[in-house]
Each structure stands twice: as structure tokens, then as C-alpha cells.
Copies of this chain bind each other. A is one copy, B any other.
Amino acid sequence: MPSSPASEVLTFADIESAQEVLKGVAVVTPVLESPLLNAALGFRLRVKAEPLQITGSFKFRGAYNAISRIPEDRREAGVVAFSSGNHAQGVAASMLGLPSVILMPKDAPKTKVELTRAWGAEVVTFDRFTESREELGAKLREDRDATLIKPYDDPLIMAGQGTLAAEAVRACAADGWTPDVFISPCGGGGLIAGCSTAVRALSPETDVYSAEPAGFDDTARSLAAHKRLANDPAARSICDALLAPEPGELTFAVNSERLTGGLSVTDDEALTAMAVAFKYLKLVVEPGGAVALAAAITGKLECRGSNVLVVCSGGNADADVYARALSRPLPF
């Protein structure tokens, strides 16, 4: 790859280095396929099943990669992290023997808060619509002299998340299957930045798209406008994992070069995708984790006849939201 803003932020070598760190620690999650779902859709769909990752989402990959590189003399002070609700940072810190404080939004799913505490992390809650998690995080970091682990705008985080796509593309290649299209959920853009870097390196002909919830399609709009645009602060979505206010500075530097485009889906479409994953894949997916699958199965792209690889990025759904998804009539 020629030198460019993106290649100064993140290269495939960074992802390969993260793969070394994660070896034997992160789960090599399977790629699932349902022949019956393929028949209903008219194209071949494969799903990287990241809900089966330790902690139930991809976020463990980036968190572990970043925390594992904290210098010896900074480990005792621990880490401060803010997460859109997943508890990966707390788990990764705990596995590496570092104390952690996790800032979580007050309205995060109860499951996620509970699981984070169960891993031994200290949880501090904030109101995501009136308080700045960045300010709270900075203050906590200062008070405790801890290392701040950003949720996405950090090359080590992006590199960790990108290992997921490297695994998936290589697993598919092993049985002679090349994706024409790759779609991944997108919040702040760390996952798709890592994934697009891996896909471009391993499968340069594959088109790469981000998928976002309607109202939080900042990456899609920013890609079209060639500059970072924020979401309307009044927007709401059930996709709690994907509610970043705008693309990250570093993630957008990567994504603006490496993505083909951005897609968005409604909350209803995300719920439908959850029900499809239940019926055809037997995989529990949370709303935000289901947006790429939703984009593929609701025709946001013309996929007929193609090989489509989507990431289901997490499965930490509350039971009531899940039951709501299952109560819906399915299109097939």
C-alpha cells in the first residue's frame, strides 16, 4: 500500500501483530452458513459469529491487544475505559491482572453492566445524552493516574478488531470461497477500520461496507461528504453498541480510504435480523451486532448471485429486547 493518511494510522502488519497477541486467548469464532437461508435470499451469505467470542462481542480483541501493551511500570495504576456497553475492557484487564474502572451509560443493557461487574471491574455510570464520557474518563484517568483505553480511536484497538476479518477471510479462502462483499457493523468505526484493512490486504477485490443504525449513520454520511459529520444528538436507537456521536478522527482516516461505502438500517430491520439469526443460524445477536446482517438481508445492496460475508459483532442482548425480536413475523 502506498503511504497515505490511512497507512500512517493502521497497516495489515499491525493486525498480524495483534493476531500474535490474541493467539490462544481470543476465541477463533466460526463462520456460519445456512443453505436454507441462502436459498431464501438468492445469494450465499456467510456470518462471522462473534457473539461466540469471550465476553460475547468483538470488543475483547481490541481491548486485550491495547491493554497487553501497557508498560510494566504503568500496569499497577490500572486502566479506565468507556464502553458503549460491552464489558470487554474490564475482562481483558482482569485477564491481564490490571485493575479497571469502566464508564458505562446509565441505559446500558442490564446484562452488560452485570457481566462487567462479575468480571471484577469497577463500573461508573453516566448519562449518555447529558454527560460527556470523554470528560468523565479524563477526570477518572487523572484522579487515578490510570491508562485510558479508548473505545475505538486508537490503532491498537482497531488492529485487534481487524483480526476478526483476517480470520474470517482466511477461513473462507480455505474452502475456496471469496467474498464479493464484506459488511460489518459500525459505531465509532474501530471495527470496520480494522476489518477493512484486513480485507483490503487479503482480498483486494472485495467491496467493504459499514452498516449503521438509522440516525447514527455518521460514517455513511461522512464517507459521502469526505469529511467527518456528527449525528443529531436527538437521535435514538435500540442498537446500544453503535451510538457514537461521530466518526473517530483516526478511524475515519482509515475508513475514508478503505471503505466502498456506508449502509444504514432501521431498528425494525435490526430486530428482524436478530430473528433470522435465531431461526437459521441458532446464534444470539444483539441489535447493534445485527445491523450488517440486516443490511444484507433487506436488500440495502444488490447481492443476488454474490458471496456476502457479514459480521455479527456481538450477542449481549437483554432478554426482553430479544423476545421482542422473536415476536416479529419473518420475511422468510
> Is the CB–CB distance between B322 and A326 below 8 Å?
yes
A278–B285 Cα distance when bound, in Å, is: 10
- Across the interface, which residues of B come within 8 angstroms of A52, CB to CB? 30, 32, 49, 281-283
A51 within 8 A of B: yes
Shortest C-beta distance, A221 to chain B (Å), equals 31
Checking B32, B54, B285 against A35 with a beta-carbon cut-off of 8 angstroms, the contacting residue is B54
Checking B119, B283, B319 against A283 with a beta-carbon cut-off of 8 angstroms, the contacting residue is B283
Shortest C-beta distance, A24 to chain B (Å), equals 8
A301 within 8 A of B: no
> Is the CB–CB distance between A322 and B282 below 8 Å?
no
- Across the interface, which residues of B come within 8 angstroms of A278, CB to CB? 284, 319, 322
A200 within 8 A of B: no
Please provide the chain A residues from 10 to 50 with a CB less than 8 Å away from any CB of chain B in the complex. 24, 27, 29-30, 32, 34-36, 39, 49
- Across the interface, which residues of B come within 8 angstroms of A39, CB to CB? 118
A36–B118 Cα distance when bound, in Å, is: 7
A315 within 8 A of B: yes
> Is the CB–CB distance between A115 and B36 below 8 Å?
yes
> Is the CB–CB distance between A56 and B282 below 8 Å?
yes
A115–B319 Cα distance when bound, in Å, is: 25
> Is the CB–CB distance between A282 and B319 below 8 Å?
no
- Across the interface, which residues of B come within 8 angstroms of A30, CB to CB? 27, 29-30, 52
A32–B29 Cα distance when bound, in Å, is: 10
Instruction: Report the nearest B residue to A119, measured CB to CB.
Output: B36
A111 within 8 A of B: yes
A172 within 8 A of B: no
Shortest C-beta distance, A49 to chain B (Å), equals 8
> Is the CB–CB distance between B326 and A319 below 8 Å?
yes
- Across the interface, which residues of B come within 8 angstroms of A119, CB to CB? 36
> Is the CB–CB distance between B327 and A319 below 8 Å?
yes
A173 within 8 A of B: no
A70 within 8 A of B: no
Contact with B along A208-245 (1 / 0, CB 8 A): 00000000000000000000000000000000000000
A275 within 8 A of B: yes
Shortest C-beta distance, A60 to chain B (Å), equals 11
A326–B175 Cα distance when bound, in Å, is: 37
